[in-house]
Amino acid sequence: MTAPTHQNWLQLKHDSETGIETQHAHFKGRAYDPHWHETYVIGFTETGVQQFDCRHQTHTSLQGGCFLLEPGDLHDGRAPCEEGFTYRSLYIPKDWLTHQISQLFEARPDHFELTFSRTLSTDKRLAAATSSAFLAKHLGDPKIVQEGCLDHMIHNLTHHMAWRQKRYAPNGHHLAYRIRDYLNDHLETDIVVQDIADEFGYDRFQINRAFKTAFGVTPHLYLVRTRLARARTLLAQGRSANAVAHSLCFSDQSHLGRWFKRAYRLTPAAYQKCCTPQP
């Protein structure tokens, strides 16, 4: 689907069998507000210069360069140059990629998860493999072609990935990680920070300070962005925008729509249309 606005455009397709999404887009100026995904994001900058903040750093992706994001990586997007930038990316479900990578190893370590060694890469082989995988999936090539291209991309991706011990609370951040788990468990409950303070026996200021020190955002923004990522998943599964808004504690469908469009540059209805198989 194409959504042109002020010389910006976006095309997104969703594969219901694998859950993989492909996105081809061009933006000038500010592209996205800070957000994150429940998927891995593997893409490359096709033209122009793309800039985004992620992991407490500003990253600049030049033409032909790849960008690699993990689930939960907070990032935004903007064009530092007047001509803007164009990119192609694949959004790959965590379980699907972990399963595919695991098949390349004789043994998979317990209590570990896949991580990217760097956010940006200038590996030309990875860029070429990612481009081929994107085109095969986005253009709907025969399944055996899609499979071969994805396998080739994953093979090149292994040079940029490692097993990392699953994230546990580091010393000094136990409270913040307990709060994060509490928020993740209450995505469908209309809670406020005072509820968290009552749960853990601290005041609201201590809760906000501890959480922001550990994660760089307030509990409120973390909860909203996690709900948006979950909304994207639920919409792709066929849930109506109204039902998703209600279940994730947005006041109504319009409220969800305003936040969703700022993060993903699509309305919930437009995104869901991209996820609906066409006859």
225, 36 Cβ separation under 8 angstroms: yes
Which pLDDT band holds residue 214 (cuts at 50, 70, 90)? confident
The answer to which of 18-22, 37-41, 172-176, 214-218 has the lowest mean pLDDT is 172-176
**67, 68, 70, 72: CA torsion to nearest 10:** 0
pLDDT, one tens digit per residue, over 158-172 is: 899 887 666 655 665
Given this model, what pLDDT does residue 110 score?
Answer: 66
CATH code, 154: 2.60.120.10
Mean pLDDT of the region 237-254 = 94
Q: At residue 163, what are phi and psi to the nearest 5 degrees? A: -85, 130
Q: Residue 43 above 90 pLDDT?
A: yes
The strands making up 50-54's β-sheet, listed across from edge to edge, are 30-35, 75-78, 50-54, 57-61
Q: Residue 4 above 60 pLDDT?
A: no
Task: Please calculate the CA angle 82-88-89 and round it to the nearest 5 degrees.
Answer: 125
Q: Residue 278 above 80 pLDDT?
A: no
Percent of the chain with pLDDT over 70: 90
On whether residue 75 sits in a domain, the answer given is yes
Given this model, what pLDDT does residue 1 score?
Answer: 46
- For residue 193, give the amino acid letter: V
Dihedral sign, CA of 153, 158, 160, 163? positive
pLDDT, one tens digit per residue, over 45-82 is: 999 999 999 988 999 999 999 999 999 999 999 999 99
Provide the token pair at 61.
């992706």
Which pLDDT band holds residue 2 (cuts at 50, 70, 90)? very low
Q: Residue 6 above 60 pLDDT?
A: no
Burial of 232-263, coded b for 16+ CB within 10 Å and e otherwise, reads bebbbeebebeebbeebbbeebeebbebbbeb
Given this model, what pLDDT does residue 163 score?
Answer: 74
Given this model, what pLDDT does residue 5 score?
Answer: 46
The H-assigned helical ranges of 237-266 are 241-247, 253-264
Q: At residue 169, what are phi and psi to the nearest 5 degrees? A: -65, 120
On whether residue 249 sits in a domain, the answer given is yes
Task: Please calculate the CA angle 261-267-270 and round it to the nearest 5 degrees.
Answer: 145
CATH code, 264: 1.10.10.60
From 114, 137, 165, the end of a domain falls on: 165
Q: Residue 273 above 50 pLDDT?
A: yes
On whether residue 94 sits in a domain, the answer given is yes
On whether residue 4 sits in a domain, the answer given is no
Instruction: Round to whole Å and give the CA distance between 213 and 170.
Output: 12
**Whether 234 and 150 share a structural domain:** no
How many domains are contained in the chain? 2
**Whether 207 and 141 share a structural domain:** no
Instruction: Round to whole Å and give the CA distance between 113 and 103.
Output: 14
The strands making up 39-48's β-sheet, listed across from edge to edge, are 9-14, 21-27, 85-93, 39-48, 66-69, 120-121
| Mean pLDDT taken over the chain | 90
Given this model, what pLDDT does residue 39 score?
Answer: 95
From 134, 165, 196, the end of a domain falls on: 165
Provide the token pair at 113.
């998860």
Instruction: Round to whole Å and give the CA distance between 142 and 146.
Output: 6
On whether residue 157 sits in a domain, the answer given is yes
On whether residue 3 sits in a domain, the answer given is no
pLDDT, one tens digit per residue, over 171-197 is: 657 899 999 999 999 999 999 999 999
pLDDT, one tens digit per residue, over 86-127 is: 999 999 999 999 888 877 766 666 667 788 989 999 999 999
From 99, 131, 165, the end of a domain falls on: 165
3-class secondary structure, 76 = strand
Instruction: Round to whole Å and give the CA distance between 217 and 234.
Output: 24
Nearest to 90 by CA among 166, 29, 156: 156
Domain coverage including residue 261 = 174-275
- Reported pTM: 0.84
